[in-house]
Amino acid sequence: MLVRLANGQTDFIDFRERAPAAASHDMYLGPDGKPTTDSVEGYRASGIPGTVSGMEYAHLKFGKRPWKELVQPAIDLARNGFPVSWDFARSLHDPQSIAKLEKFEDSKRIFLNDGKGYQFGDTLKQPELTATLERIRDFGAAGFYEGPVAHKIAEDMRAHGGLLTEKDLANYKTIDRPALTGKYKNYTVITAPPPSSGGVGILQMMGVLEGTDYARTGAGSAREYHFLAEAMRRFFADRSEWMGDPEFFKVPVTSLLNPATIAALRASINPDHATPSSEIKPGVYTTNESTQTTHFSIVDPEGNAVSVTYTLNGGFGSGVTASGLGFLLNNEMDDFAPKPGSPNYYGLIQGEANSIAPGKTPLSSMTPTILLQDGKLRAVLGTPGGPTIINSVLQVALNLMDFGMNAQQAVDQPRIHHQWMPDKLLAEETISPDTIDLLRTKYGHDMILRPRIGEMAVIRLDNGWIEGAPDGRTEGTAKGF
């Protein structure tokens, strides 16, 4: 959660999941030394949940309305039900979702309607979740991390070979970190510090692009996308080696954002052709110095801004619904490097900086971001999307800052994604076929077309107006106060 108050105060609230005390470096390697699927699916995939703690921490520090009043709407939705949307119904009928959820009794009963499935317009009621939320309403975060809920989670874990214990839950603490702040032209960029890799990523890529004329040929041109892709692949190479939990690894943020580093990255870009990722290695920096997702962006009538991203990681998390409690468990342990140097669920290659250790926070791509101009709030933005989060936030921010788009135009503009390895440039199908052809033939990018990349939620402020832009790629919405 990234917070920027109307008085200029900023804060970053880290309620990321953490590895259980029983976690170990090689816990997801089989006898053959290859990664198993335990980090993606099942009881061993879950880190210690942090959302309830983080929301309570934010409420105690910044909230005004009573906690019970804030939790009650969620209880009402769980008890009375809500209509299943078209997109939600589609996700529940996805063969991969079915294969994951039907393996676990409560998941199959609740989310697959005991095998009968849900159709668009059906009502989904969740009585077990209602009871869990009522405990959170009445007892705060202690209603989740202690007492009957914590006991049930731990009991379920013990019965199915999971790692989470009551002690893990009781020991979880939200961490208050300084927000990461940088400059792009005449804008101030406030964003996420490690253990998110996203803030460092967008600041490094903005720095690389700022010294070029990448925008000369206009938004959506092949040349613009080429420069974006080259900046992206260089950051993700650095990410693979140098990003991790700052409590366990000294992330060289200053070195990664040093003007000399950025100038060298910029100079390595061929403006006329893609650089093969095999020729790009992570930089050499000193670490001795003085990182299934939901996002929402909010600006209130007083000018306070909040950008929040949180996640279960993969679709429907680990597939496990906590027995008798009604909520899905995450599979965040796969955001570590189960085998350093080998790709994870998202194809990301990560090094020892993000290896598994007890109590450690896995590296994330979550990039809640706020833009200021001349000290005034100009935009609040963020998105789900795994590693595509970083590049989606980058592109929409540049659409606002460099191309003068309004919020909806910036969100609607087609997007790309490159993450160094595998050496593929993902591009949305809505990009002009001529542009795709130029990226392939003139610039030499190996392309994969996708229906959509990201799900941006953006607020833009200009001359007293507030624009809220949902992403038409999904069922996102915007609502005024």
Rounded-to-integer distance, Cα 410 and Cα 394, Å? 11
**Which whole number is the average pLDDT over 412-432?**
97
What is the secondary structure of 406-468 as a DSSP string?
-HHHHHHS--EE--SSS--EEEETTS-HHHHHHHHHTS---EEEES-----EEEEEETTEEEE
Work out the average pLDDT over 400-410.
98
* CATH code for the part of the protein at 177-290+365-469: 1.10.246.130
Confidence of residue 6 (pLDDT cuts 50, 70, 90): very high
151-187 pLDDT per residue, tens: 999 999 999 999 999 999 999 999 999 999 999 999 9
Mean local confidence (pLDDT), 440-468: 96
The residue-averaged pLDDT of 67-86 equals 98
Residue in this structure with the two tokens 């009963």, named with its chain if needed:
109
Tell me how far apart the alpha carbons of residues 126 and 132 are, in angstroms, rounded to a whole number.
10
Lowest-pLDDT choice from 76-80, 102-106, 291-295, 399-403: 291-295
- CA distances, 343 to each of 262, 411, 416 (Å): 26, 30, 20
The phi-psi region of residue 33 (left if phi > 0; otherwise alpha if psi is between -120 and 50; otherwise beta) is left
Q: What is the mean pLDDT of residues 316-338?
A: 96
Average pLDDT over the chain reads: 95
Q: What is the pLDDT of residues 354-371, one digit of tens each?
A: 999 999 999 999 999 999
Provide CATH 1.10.246.130 ranges for the chain: 177-290+365-469
Q: What is the DSSP string of 141-201?
A: THHHHSHHHHHHHHHHHHHTT----HHHHHH---EEEPPEEEEETTEEEEEPPTTBSHHHH
Strands 465-469 and 457-462: antiparallel
How much is the pLDDT for 283?
A: 65
d(C-alpha 436, C-alpha 28), whole Å: 39
Per cent of the chain over pLDDT 90 is 93
Half-sphere exposure of 467 (CA within 13 A, CB side): 18
The span from the CA of 135 to the CA of 54, in Å, is 16
Read off the pLDDT of each residue in 56-71 and give the average, rounded to a whole number. Answer: 98
Q: What is the pLDDT of residue 344?
A: 76
Reply yes or no on whether the pLDDT at 210 is more than 70. yes
For residue 85, pLDDT over 90 is answered with yes
Directed axis angle between helix 51-62 and helix 67-80, to 10°? 140
Dist. CA 46–CA 379, nearest whole Å:
34
The predicted pLDDT at position 286 comes to 47
Residue of 174, 293, 311, 369 marked catalytic? 293
Nearest to 397 by CA among 413, 386, 384, 385: 413
Distances (CA, A) of 400 to 211, 232, 379, 413: 18, 19, 9, 11
How many angstroms separate the Cα of 274 from the Cα of each of 222, 241, 437, 445, 447?
12, 22, 14, 6, 12
Q: What is the pLDDT of residue 288?
A: 36
**Residues 44 and 38: beta-carbon distance below 8 Å:** yes
Give tens-digit pLDDT for 372-388.
Answer: 999 999 999 999 999 99
pLDDT at 291 over 50: no
Distances (CA, A) of 154 to 129, 158, 161, 335: 17, 6, 10, 22
Whether residue 348 is predicted with pLDDT greater than 90 in this model: the reply is no
- Residue 274 is classified by DSSP as P
Q: Among 119, 136, 145, 120, which Cα is nearest to 78's? A: 136
Tokens of 381: 């933005």
CB-based contacts of 183: which residues, under 8 Å, 6+ apart? 189
Strand order in the sheet with 2-4: 175-177, 10-14, 2-4, 305-311, 293-299
Query: For residues 399 and 408, is the Cβ–Cβ distance under 8 A?
Result: no
Structure tokens at 245: 């939990």
> Is this prediction's pTM over 0.75?
yes
Phi first, then psi: give them for residue 181, nearest 5 degrees. -125, 135
Angstrom CA distances, 237 to 111, 364, 437, 443, stand at 38, 15, 26, 20
Q: What angle do CA 110, 115, 117 make, to 5 degrees?
A: 75
37 catalytically annotated: no
- Average pLDDT value for residue range 34-56: 96
